[in-house]
A = this chain, B = another copy of it.
Amino acid sequence: MMIGMTTTIKRRDSGVNLFHALSDVTRLEILERLKDGEQCVCDLTEALKTGQSRLSFHLKVLKDAGLITDRPEGRWTYYALNQEALEELEAVVQALQGSRRGVGSSSRCR
């Protein structure tokens, strides 16, 4: 099955966004926490022992990348994993592995 150029480029762009959001220890810790279910910012602040504005910053990065969703309720905001984004991540990573076709057909310089 042939994948069009446009699809490839789009996947690359969304890849950059996702990977950037994931390239920070604090953000990975947040995601790990959220595996147990949705949490409000106050929970996370305590769990990660970090300042509120710092946490808020990282949550925004994750949310902008689509990796988490927020659900404001009263004075709290609950954050949760976005399963869809994780599936897209899977797809992007598998696209990296590639078809493995042509391995060994290395071009030779001269």
| Interfacial residues, chain A to chain B (CB-CB below 8 A) | 8, 12-13, 15-16, 19-20, 22-25, 28-29, 31-32, 35-40, 42-43, 76, 78, 80-81, 86, 89-90, 93-94, 96-107, 109
> Is the Cβ of B29 less than 8 Å from the Cβ of A12?
yes
CA distance A97 to B32 in the complex (A): 9
CA distance A75 to B15 in the complex (A): 34
> Is the Cβ of B106 less than 8 Å from the Cβ of A97?
no
With CB as the reference atom, state the residue of chain B lying closest to A40.
Answer: B109
Shortest 4 CB-CB contacts between residues of A and residues of B: A35-B98, A20-B23, A19-B23, A19-B22
Given contacts A76-B109, A89-B96, contact A25 B37 (CB under 8 A): no
Chain B nearest CB: distance from A39 CB in Å? 6
CA distance A2 to B69 in the complex (A): 28
Q: Which of B31, B104, B107 contacts A39 (CB 8 A)?
A: B107
